[in-house]
Amino acid sequence: MAVPIAVLDCDLLLYGRGHRTLDRFKLEDVTDEYLVSTYGFPRQFIYYLVNLLGASLSRPTQRSRAISPETQILAALGFYTSGSFQTRMGDAIGISQASMSRCVANVTEALVERASQFIHFPEDEATVQSLKDDFYGLAGMPGVLGVVDCTHVAIKAPNAEDLSYVNRKGLHSLNCLMVCDARGVLLSAETHWPGSLPDCTVLQQAALTTQFETELHKDGWLLGDSSFFLRTWLMTPLHIPETPAEYRYNMAHSATHNVIERTFRTIRSRFRCLDGSKGTLQYSPEKSSHIILACCVLHNISLKHGLDVWSSPATGHMEQPEEEYEQMESMDLEACRIRQELLLTHFS
């Protein structure tokens, strides 16, 4: 006679059906210091996430014991901020390593679903003007709507034949295109580009370019470094400045553009799963892209909650590969005219 095979819950195998470990951890029973040191964020921030994501994380399940939204969020934060599925992390909240992995997947997708809610350019005139004023206050660069750059995040090799994710350092990575404001709030994040693509190609193919070329962003521009082409909506530095005005322009450009480098360092420092110190993200490119985007959403939410102290550089090795590029001077005469007018009007 055939013996039926039951599919067993990992937590059930470890603890037994009557075990109440899933309910033993309570946020109110531990200090903020413990929560910050273990999960990266204070109590009120975690409560906010429970309210924000609770409905998505409480979907019907056929498993015998669903893990609470609070526990799922703690598990995911523990992974994002530590970069590993440590046994002690699961033990602290009473779930297995396999359940930790499922929690990270659930929370990641819930955050990705809300990406457009937290990562977007302002639309009303007052907020756009405030955005420009904040940038102008940094180094006197007018009309700036955001600073743009790319950064690489290490991932495991998808397969031996696929070389599209191998970057200039010979490592597998995703090349992530991001834009931030003067405080480091992300206004755009495209995290899915293969690491083999140079920054200029990523921008050329990005939704960001379509957005700026088809929508009404005629009264300002982004700032990008010399790995990008000069465009009417993207001001780049001059390759060989000659006049005092050109030097002043380049200095103001560099000081303003530096905001996104600090933002990258902050994100890597806060979310150690991205900084390379724990190794590569052990997921497919698609899932790795979603984890990066989820961390970007959490970054913006944390700034919204006042957790905006600039962090020190991360210790990981996976920084953006140095680009070996020729100067990307534009043949766009209108873009050249706009930059020249900017030089004459504000830096002469």
3-state secondary structure of 321: coil
Are residues 339 and 273 part of one domain?
Answer: yes
Are residues 337 and 204 part of one domain?
Answer: yes
Kindly state the tokens that stand for 45: 């921030």
Are residues 234 and 85 part of one domain?
Answer: no
Residue 309 lies inside a defined structural domain of this protein: no
Q: Average the pLDDT over 29-57 and give the result.
A: 90
Residue 81 scores a pLDDT above 60: yes
Rounded CA separation 10/44 (Å): 31
Rounded CA separation 148/189 (Å): 10
Are residues 254 and 240 part of one domain?
Answer: yes
Of 309, 301, 306, 287, the C-alpha closest to 51 is 301
By the 8 A CB rule, do 256 and 135 touch?
yes
Are residues 135 and 103 part of one domain?
Answer: no
Residue 7 lies inside a defined structural domain of this protein: no
Residue 8 lies inside a defined structural domain of this protein: no
Can you give the residue range of the structural domain that contains 41?
32-58+67-113
Are residues 157 and 99 part of one domain?
Answer: no
What number of H helices and E strands is found in the chain?
13, 5
Name the residue with tokens 């039951």: 6
Kindly state the tokens that stand for 338: 């706009």
Residue that finishes a domain, picked among 97, 113, 129:
113
Q: Which is higher by pLDDT, 163 or 309?
A: 163
Residue 40 lies inside a defined structural domain of this protein: yes
Q: What is the pLDDT of residues 281-297, one digit of tens each?
A: 989 999 999 999 999 99
For residue 310, name the pLDDT band (cuts at 50, 70, 90). Answer: low
Residue 228 lies inside a defined structural domain of this protein: yes
Rounded CA separation 339/347 (Å): 11
Residue 306 lies inside a defined structural domain of this protein: no
Name the residue with tokens 């009309």: 143
Residue that finishes a domain, picked among 50, 84, 113:
113
Within 13 Å and on the Cβ side, how many CA atoms surround 247?
3
Alpha helices in 16-68 (DSSP H): 32-39, 43-57
Are residues 172 and 53 part of one domain?
Answer: no
Q: Is 45 exposed, middle or buried (0-12, 13-18, 19+ CB in 10 A)?
A: buried
Q: What is the pLDDT of residues 118-153, one digit of tens each?
A: 999 998 999 999 999 999 999 999 999 999 999 999
Are residues 124 and 107 part of one domain?
Answer: no
For residue 56, name the pLDDT band (cuts at 50, 70, 90). Answer: very high
Residue 316 lies inside a defined structural domain of this protein: no
Kindly state the tokens that stand for 293: 């985007």
Residue 108 scores a pLDDT above 70: yes
Cα-based distances in Å from 265 to 8, 204, 227, 273, 316 = 42, 25, 20, 13, 10
Q: What is the pLDDT of residue 162?
A: 80
Are residues 209 and 91 part of one domain?
Answer: no
Of 256, 264, 258, 257, the C-alpha closest to 312 is 264
Of 267, 304, 148, 300, the C-alpha closest to 211 is 148
Number of neighbouring beta carbons within 10 Å of residue 40: 20
Q: What is the pLDDT of residue 279?
A: 75
Kindly state the tokens that stand for 2: 């055939």
Q: Which of the residue ranges 112-126, 205-219, 307-321 would you say has the lowest mean pLDDT?
A: 307-321
Are residues 280 and 177 part of one domain?
Answer: yes
Which pairing describes strands 144-154 and 221-223: parallel, antiparallel, or unpaired?
Answer: parallel
Are residues 206 and 127 part of one domain?
Answer: yes
β-bridge partners, 166: 172
Residue 10 lies inside a defined structural domain of this protein: no
For residue 90, name the pLDDT band (cuts at 50, 70, 90). Answer: low
Q: What is the pLDDT of residues 142-190, one digit of tens each?
A: 999 999 999 999 999 988 678 899 999 999 999 999 999 999 999 999 9
Are residues 109 and 254 part of one domain?
Answer: no
Number of domains in the chain: 2
Question: What share of residues in the chain are helix, strand, coil (percent, to 5)?
Answer: 50, 10, 40
Number of neighbouring beta carbons within 10 Å of residue 64: 10
